[in-house]
A = this chain, B = another copy of it.
Amino acid sequence: MRKVKPEGSSRRGFLRSTPGLYAASLLEASAADAQSAEAAHDVTRTLARYLASSKPGDLPENVRREGTRTLVNYVGCALGGSKEDAVSNALAALAPLYPGGKTTIFGRREKMDMLHGAMINGISSHVLDFDDTHLKTVIHPGGPVAPALLALAEHQKLTGEQLLHALILGCEVECRIGNAVYPAHYDIGWHITGSVGAFGAAAAAGKILGLDETKMLWALGVAASQPVGLREMFGSMTKSFHPGRAAQNGLTAALLAAKGFTSSEQSIEAKRGWANVLSSTQKYGEITGQLGERFETLLNTYKPFACGIVTHPTIDGCIELRNEHKLKPEQIRSVELTVHPLVPELTGKQAPTVGLEGKFSIYYIAAVALITGAAGPTQFTDQLVRDPGVNALREKVHITVDKALKEDQVRVSIQLADGRVVTRFIEHAVGSVEKPMPDAALDAKFLDLASVALPAGRAKRLLELSRTVATLPDAAAISRAAAA
């Protein structure tokens, strides 16, 4: 007799039926975490109730501003990634199935059905590894939520205000659930953006569809039952599939729930719910605490540079000195970088020969940042890596390791031909929570990414639409402007 009925959230009941060792692990985790386990009764319901009752006007202005920045960064990344093989191959596989599709694929001519359109636009947002990051959980919040909403906006009329509100709610749901299980869940092997992403997309799409508390519970439940993403896929195209499929899964969940498709109503906290099955620790207070008062969206960050994060302080320092002193390459006699030990360990390549290798050469990176004032995707082409002018400067870059420095610190010292020495100490690299990327830098990043797919004038227009999303009478204007 294998007849299982939905039951309460007692962990003891679960443990009776698990094998000894796994159970022992959970039992000890449970003892350590007894208080939150006690409070685990209405986690999903509390969240659903908040989502169903939230109104755009409830969100503070700084949260709306960060939500807008999340959208701007998402749109730029989806355009920048739109020509990558992962996107092209996915379209080659699926676009022929949807000849009458009406959903815009960012940066492309193809159109898709709404659900797979959301998926493809999620893939493109992640494929450059240049998307937003909630650093507490390494979740990339925008990718699973924004494309679901933008696809929905082409299907049914919604205002930019509605879209922004739902986007923020979706990011809150992802990051709060992520907080509750990070780092255990990530360490076990889940790519957390994909595994929490469907919750965010379901919540956001569910808000647009006007789900009441019960249907929102069902939407979250259908989402809970479809986590996406093993970290084992890192290094393959399936990595960027994760946020895309999460967008599709969450949107599907909301559509099903809207038509009465039922699920568990304790999908997160039940003894065989998402948090217990996919993680060995649970902090439910992270999900339900201070809803509507504490906003994880405020902690979202945007990568300013298209290479590994240990190089960011160096780039930041070089660009600051370049701009401040209007440095020209021919003025520079030598560049001394004092860095954390990880910098040469991870990016110690002296003489890169192709674009991808450039990302692993702190020497090249410093040189190209000093010459171009940037380190976006267009700074990592084969052509630029082989440029004689860049290489001449690259050979003047020297490294000193200082174990006392933190990972996000650097000391840059540039000796000039006229004998002057200009220096800069970077305490936190730009793009961190402590030193957020300025709007102007985010806009520049957007335009650089968009240039892959759109002429400059159209890219500027799309940036303007994204920046002013809250005022748009029709949010689909963004998608329409993002078509190639």
Interface residues, chain A, with chain B CB atoms under 8 Å away: 1-6, 14, 17-19, 21-22, 24-26, 28-29, 85-86, 89-90, 92-94, 97-100, 113-116, 138, 155, 183-184, 187-191, 194, 218, 221-222, 224-238, 241-242, 245, 252, 255-256, 258-264, 266-267, 270-274, 276-277, 280-281, 308-310, 342, 346, 407
Interfacial chain B residues near A241, Cβ < 8 Å: 222, 225, 256, 261
Asked whether, in the complex, the Cβ of B272 is within 8 Å of the Cβ of A230, the reply is: yes
Nearest residue, chain B, Cβ from A246? B226
Asked whether, in the complex, the Cβ of B6 is within 8 Å of the Cβ of A232, the reply is: yes
Asked whether, in the complex, the Cβ of B264 is within 8 Å of the Cβ of A236, the reply is: yes
In the complex, which of the residues A3, A189, A245 has the most CB atoms of chain B within 10 Å of its own CB atom? A189
Chain B min CB distance to A268 (Å): 9
Cβ 8 A contact of A259, one of B29, B92, B114, B272: B92
Given A100-B100, A221-B233, A233-B225, answer yes or no on A256-B4 (Cβ-Cβ < 8 Å): no
Asked whether, in the complex, the Cβ of B93 is within 8 Å of the Cβ of A1, the reply is: no
Asked whether, in the complex, the Cβ of A22 is within 8 Å of the Cβ of B188, the reply is: yes
Given A93-B258, A261-B241, answer yes or no on A2-B113 (Cβ-Cβ < 8 Å): no
In the complex, which of the residues A86, A233, A234 has the most CB atoms of chain B within 10 Å of its own CB atom? A233
Asked whether, in the complex, the Cβ of B256 is within 8 Å of the Cβ of A236, the reply is: no
Asked whether, in the complex, the Cβ of A236 is within 8 Å of the Cβ of B259, the reply is: no
Asked whether, in the complex, the Cβ of A189 is within 8 Å of the Cβ of B277, the reply is: yes
Chain B min CB distance to A308 (Å): 6
Cβ 8 A contact of A1, one of B18, B98, B262, B407: B407
Asked whether, in the complex, the Cβ of A263 is within 8 Å of the Cβ of B238, the reply is: yes
In the complex, which of the residues A26, A231, A346 has the most CB atoms of chain B within 10 Å of its own CB atom? A231
The 7 A-B residue pairs with the shortest CB-CB distance in the complex, in nearest-first order = A189-B272, A25-B25, A189-B277, A22-B280, A238-B263, A93-B259, A21-B25
Cβ 8 A contact of A281, one of B19, B227, B229, B255: B19
What is the CA–CA distance of A116 and B222 in the complex, to the nearest angstrom? 16
Asked whether, in the complex, the Cβ of B25 is within 8 Å of the Cβ of A232, the reply is: no
Asked whether, in the complex, the Cβ of B236 is within 8 Å of the Cβ of A263, the reply is: yes
Interfacial chain B residues near A266, Cβ < 8 Å: 232
Nearest residue, chain B, Cβ from A17? B187
Given A113-B98, A259-B93, answer yes or no on A310-B1 (Cβ-Cβ < 8 Å): yes
Cβ 8 A contact of A89, one of B24, B256, B309: B256
Nearest residue, chain B, Cβ from A102? B97
What is the CA–CA distance of A19 and B190 in the complex, to the nearest angstrom? 14
What is the CA–CA distance of A2 and B234 in the complex, to the nearest angstrom? 11
Asked whether, in the complex, the Cβ of B225 is within 8 Å of the Cβ of A230, the reply is: yes
Given A222-B238, A233-B221, A237-B263, answer yes or no on A187-B19 (Cβ-Cβ < 8 Å): yes
Chain B min CB distance to A394 (Å): 23
Given A1-B407, A258-B93, A272-B232, answer yes or no on A188-B18 (Cβ-Cβ < 8 Å): yes
What is the CA–CA distance of A98 and B97 in the complex, to the nearest angstrom? 11
What is the CA–CA distance of A276 and B281 in the complex, to the nearest angstrom? 17
Asked whether, in the complex, the Cβ of A235 is within 8 Å of the Cβ of B5, the reply is: yes
For this complex, 16 residue pairs linking A to B, each with C-beta atoms less than 8 Å apart, are A17-B187, A18-B184, A21-B25, A21-B29, A93-B256, A93-B258, A97-B115, A189-B273, A191-B225, A221-B233, A230-B277, A231-B272, A232-B266, A232-B267, A233-B267, A235-B264
Chain B min CB distance to A194 (Å): 7
Asked whether, in the complex, the Cβ of A264 is within 8 Å of the Cβ of B232, the reply is: yes
What is the CA–CA distance of A238 and B14 in the complex, to the nearest angstrom? 21
Given A1-B342, A89-B259, A277-B190, answer yes or no on A22-B19 (Cβ-Cβ < 8 Å): no
Asked whether, in the complex, the Cβ of A262 is within 8 Å of the Cβ of B236, the reply is: yes
Chain B min CB distance to A380 (Å): 16
Interfacial chain B residues near A273, Cβ < 8 Å: 189, 230, 232
Interfacial chain B residues near A245, Cβ < 8 Å: 226
What is the CA–CA distance of A183 and B225 in the complex, to the nearest angstrom? 19
Interfacial chain B residues near A18, Cβ < 8 Å: 184, 187-188
Asked whether, in the complex, the Cβ of B90 is within 8 Å of the Cβ of A256, the reply is: yes
Nearest residue, chain B, Cβ from A265? B236
Nearest residue, chain B, Cβ from A194? B225
Asked whether, in the complex, the Cβ of A270 is within 8 Å of the Cβ of B222, the reply is: no
Cβ 8 A contact of A237, one of B92, B94, B262, B270: B262
Chain B min CB distance to A347 (Å): 10
Chain B min CB distance to A277 (Å): 4
What is the CA–CA distance of A117 and B309 in the complex, to the nearest angstrom? 44
Cβ 8 A contact of A22, one of B98, B184, B221, B310: B184
